[in-house]
Amino acid sequence: MIDSAQDQAARAKPHRRPSVLAMLTAAATLAFAVSLAAIAFAGGATVTVGSASNAELGEQLLVNSQGHTLYVLSPETSRHLLCKSRECLRFWPPLTVRSANAKLHAAAGVHGRLGILRRGNGVLQVTLDGRPLYRFAEDHASGEVNGQNFKSFGGTWHVVNVSGSPSSTAPAPASEPPSNPPASAPPATSTTPSYPTSSGSPSTSTPTSSTPTSTTPTTTTPSTGGWEY
């Protein structure tokens, strides 16, 4: 007897189910394995806060893995953020990690407790004793401290020494450089003119006006020689 098309389809259907189910199971298993590997990789990542001697300040300062100086903004804390604007984060990039499970390691001699702060935009930032850590965009090489004592965004930026305390030992740069610095004028000296002095009081010669003397003309009476008229 020739089987109908429905009978053939009914006999073929049970053979397809195991293959499709196996493919779905394999895909789910692979996805789960990938997610576990990603979590394990992120959780195993280690971020080290190191230290370096700074010749300009004469101190041992905190640095990131590239050797760039780390800063804190006083009086900012992880519970009261001051650096939140796009402009602030452009000049002061946070020290971040990719996962909340990242391991934080402090180099030898660094004191303080490292932690992770989840900012409002989802960025995970490293903190030290509750103070968020930042870099300065104008520090282009290791050892530079161009942001020290810089006043902006509601506070003052300080480098952090290995004791975990903000340092203010560097000379404070101007928060806004003057557009037209005044020219250095030569020192003004008040010179009192000196006049020649004489030993005695200056004598003033008063010109004498020659007053003409009126002379009374003398009339001479001629002598008559004794003659009488």
Question: Could you tell me which residues come within 8 angstroms of residue 75 by beta carbon, excluding any fewer than 6 positions away?
Answer: 82, 155
- In the chain the first and final C-alpha atoms are separated, in Å, by 223
Pair 168, 158: CB distance under 8 Å: yes
165-195 per-position pLDDT tens digit: 999 885 544 454 444 444 444 444 444 444 4
pLDDT at 196 over 90: no
Take residue 197 and report the two structure tokens written for it. Answer: 């002095």
- Ramachandran quadrant class, 58 (left: phi over 0; alpha: psi -120 to 50; beta: rest): left
CB-based contact 106:164 (threshold 8 Å): no
What pLDDT was estimated at residue 169?
A: 82
Q: Is pLDDT of 74 > 90?
A: yes
> Are 162 and 62 in contact, with CB atoms under 8 Å apart?
yes
How many other CB atoms are there within 10 angstroms of residue 168's CB atom? 14
Cα(103)–Cα(101) distance, integer angstroms: 6
Q: How far apart are CA 105 and CA 47, in angstroms?
A: 6
pLDDT score of 159 more than 60? yes
Cα angle 110-126-54, degrees, rounded to a multiple of 5: 40
The domain spans of the chain are 46-158
Comparing 127 with 190, the larger pLDDT belongs to 127
